[in-house]
Amino acid sequence: MTGWQSADMADVWLKVAVQRNRMMATATERMFAQAGVREGARVLDVGTGTGDTALMLAHRVGPTGEVVATDMAPAMVSAAATAARESGFTNVKTAVMDLSSPLGDVGVFDAAVGRCVLMFVEDLPLALSRLRGVLRPAGRFAAIVWAELEDNPFNAIPIAAVRKRREMPTPPPELVKAFSLSSASDLQRTFEGAGFGSVVVERVALTREFPAFADAAKVLHEIPLYRELLSLLPEEEHSEAVAEIEQGYRAFVRADGTVAFPQVTLVVAGSA
Ligand SMILES: C[S@@+](CC[C@H](N)C(=O)[O-])C[C@H]1O[C@@H](n2cnc3c(N)ncnc32)[C@H](O)[C@@H]1O
């Protein structure tokens, strides 16, 4: 079982949905545009989490289209199903789907998307060729991944604080895995190697904002991904590392007390 399937992950993911969707908005728009999402389309959403992108897609494809929202974590899928029901969408289906396994009988899609999921998939070339196999000819798959750590200080700072004190284990914590696809040229090659054509990779800059410093610092203790990383350190080093991370974060406090971290994503897309 990975951290994604832990009991509190879906609850925490739901809690920070508004902030996440605000931060990811520009990249999400590019992902939908690159996937060619349009009214009436049948769209597969992989690694949907609590279903944020599935609901946005449901709105775009309308009642004549369909969204199949999938994730390997049953608690995430269940939260996505509840969100779709509560939002009144009748064009969203949900299913547990692990991209590291055969996709099963899911039918044919006009488009597929995956926001911040591909980095966690064990055999990505195999998963990509399976995804290509469920798209209609020329159907597009578009995904968002994180660019290099140095462009993402909110994560680079805690990862550096832990790396300084301890060698990363194998497999690394999920937060470190999140940066495993940050080379645009490697990503392009992986998509092409899986048989995708017309592959494009765009860099999309975002901002991660917090109303106050305490809100940024709280993430280290509240979000399981950061807790997992910091749990690699023994008690005495743990508090020392947290103090160092908070010190690093202070550079991003603005004059009005709000906090803004630059973030960079890669939006990758290809045609089946
Ligand atoms: C960073 S979250 C992103 C969730 C959602 N796409 C969003 O943007 O809010 C990563 C998601 O990928 C899912 N995931 C991780 N590995 C997966 C795999 N092998 N197959 C399918 N989903 C996976 C996790 O359960 C988690 O919900």
The number of C-alpha atoms within 13 Å of 28 and in the hemisphere containing its C-beta is 16
Assign 99 to helix, strand or coil: coil
Cβ of 120 less than 6 Å from ligand 1: yes
Q: With a cut of 70, which residues of the chain have pLDDT below it?
A: 1-2, 7
Helix axes 153-163, 235-249, angle to 10 degrees: 150
Outline where DSSP puts E strands in 34-146.
Answer: 42-45, 66-71, 92-96, 109-115, 135-146
Which of 32, 117, 155 to mutate for ligand 1's pocket (most ligand atoms within 8 Å of CB)? 117
The pLDDT value recorded for residue 7 is 65
The pLDDT value recorded for residue 2 is 59
Q: The tokens of 56 are what?
A: 């946005």
Q: The tokens of 14 are what?
A: 């739901």
Q: Please tell me the distance from the alpha carbon of residue 190 to that of residue 184, in angstroms, as a whole number.
A: 10
Cβ of 117 less than 6 Å from ligand 1: yes
- pTM to 2 decimals? 0.97
Between the CA of 258 and the centroid of ligand 1 the distance, in Å, is 29
Q: Please tell me the distance from the alpha carbon of residue 97 to that of residue 99, in angstroms, as a whole number.
A: 6
Which of 71, 118, 121 to mutate for ligand 1's pocket (most ligand atoms within 8 Å of CB)? 71
Cβ of 100 less than 6 Å from ligand 1: yes
pLDDT in tens, 144-162: 999 999 999 999 999 999 9
pLDDT in tens, 13-64: 999 999 999 999 999 999 999 999 999 999 999 999 999 999 999 999 999 9
* Superfamily (CATH H level) for 2-271: Vaccinia Virus protein VP39 (3.40.50.150)
The pLDDT value recorded for residue 5 is 85
The pLDDT value recorded for residue 1 is 47
Domain ranges of the chain: 2-271
